[in-house]
Every structure is written in structure tokens, then in C-alpha cells.
Copies of this chain bind each other. A is one copy, B any other.
Amino acid sequence: MKLVLATSNKGKLREITELCNEYEVVPYTDLIEAFEIIEDADTFKENALIKARAVYQALDNENVIVLADDSGISVEVLNGAPGVYSARYGGTNATDKDNLYKLIDALKAKGVKSSPAYYTAAIAIVSKNAERTVHGWMHGDVIDEARGEGGFGYDPMFVPAGYKQTVAELSSKIKKNLSHRSQALGLAKKILKTL
């Protein structure tokens, strides 16, 4: 079955392709030209649906299944920020590093070295017959420095509960066992089998 991903984010593409290796995973930009999708909802779930629906409609092919991931990090001392704004926390065209250092600065401005935080991943699946969403979460702490080279996004400053290392310092095998995205994809795969 061909699974079209409604993303051009390289980190997400890599992780989802790895975690869904029983499917033929194709970024939508391999099939049609990239286009802008306005993700202006208040929740990860609605933003994931916006992306999956937009790509499904643009593809105009009843035989594809589109999968979209919307994810982000919520920090307790920042009352849940950056949340759904995680990908553009450092500005409209912010890089991972821009976002990461803005969050480190925000912790420092609060006068804390760390804070409880959690990642959310919402995955939407849109096909001819179905629109479904699932979620996964990973809890831990954000710290006021970046450590490690693995992962992407806020991984270098995120220490999962029960660990001392950041996600960027842990092996990709451990990240696969722990991550919000892995958990959500595990549920998504159960849905894919029923479509």
C-alpha cells in the first residue's frame, strides 16, 4: 500500500519512513509540487487533519492514503508554550536551531534551569473512506542547554522521564521505543490495516 506523507520536514520523513517500513512511504512532494498549507488550528489534531485533507484533495487520486503528523512540545513553566506553535516559535521561517535557542532563552528568562515538558504527536489519516486521528506523547524535562547530535526539533534539550541523556544523545533505537511519534504511529498502523 502506498502511504503519502503530507510533510516535507526531513526529520519527520526519516522517522516515519523508518517506523513504517512495511509500507511504501512517499512524501507528497514526490508526486506534486509543494504548496503552502495554513495550519492555523488550536490543536495538533486539527492541524494534522488540515494537512492530510489538503494533500489528499490536491492529489485527486482515490487510491492513496495520506498521513500527516503535527507535533510539538509543551513546557510547564511556560504554561504550555510553544505547543502548536513549536515549528514556528522562532519566527515564520525558523530553523530547528532558531526554535531551540528561543526556548532555551525563554527558560533562562524564567530563571529556571529545567522544566517538566512533553511532546505531542497527532497523526491524521485521510483516505477515500475514512478520516482518523491518533495521538502519542512523551514526557520529561526541557533543560537550558542543547546536547547531542541525533533526532531533530527540540530533541537536544529534551530529557525523557527516567533518563539522564537528551533525546539527541540517546540512540535512535531508544528514541523509537520512547517517542510520541512512535506511539502515535503504532496506533496509526492498526487503523491502516482496517482501511
Known: A76-B80, A116-B43. A161 touches B139 (CB 8 A): no
Bound CA–CA A25/B74 (angstroms): 36
Interface: A111 (CB within 8 A): no
Q: Do B162 and A137 touch (CB < 8 A)?
A: no
Q: Do A118 and B137 touch (CB < 8 A)?
A: yes
Residue of B at shortest CB range from A83?
Answer: B76
Contact with B along A177-194 (1 / 0, CB 8 A): 000000000010000000
Residue of B at shortest CB range from A140?
Answer: B135
Q: Do A137 and B134 touch (CB < 8 A)?
A: no
Bound CA–CA A120/B141 (angstroms): 14
Contact with B along A63-100 (1 / 0, CB 8 A): 00000000000101001100100000000000000000
Bound CA–CA A135/B80 (angstroms): 19
Q: How far is the CB of A81 from chain B (nearest CB, A)?
A: 9
Q: Point out the residue from B76, B79, B134, B139 that lies within 8 Å of A135, measured CB to CB.
A: B139
Bound CA–CA A118/B120 (angstroms): 11
A118 contacts across to B, CB distance below 8 A: 118, 137
Q: How far is the CB of A153 from chain B (nearest CB, A)?
A: 19
A137 contacts across to B, CB distance below 8 A: 118, 137, 139
Q: How far is the CB of A125 from chain B (nearest CB, A)?
A: 14
Q: How far is the CB of A80 from chain B (nearest CB, A)?
A: 6
Could you list 9 further interchain pairs (A-B, Cβ under 8 angstroms) beyond the known A79-B80, A134-B161?
A43-B116, A76-B80, A76-B83, A79-B79, A80-B80, A118-B118, A120-B139, A135-B161, A137-B139
- Top 5 A-B pairs ranked by shortest CB distance? A79-B79, A135-B161, A137-B139, A80-B80, A79-B80
Subset of 17 A-B contacts with CB under 8 Å: A43-B116, A74-B76, A76-B80, A76-B83, A79-B79, A79-B80, A80-B80, A118-B118, A118-B137, A120-B139, A134-B161, A134-B162, A135-B139, A135-B161, A137-B137, A137-B139, A162-B187
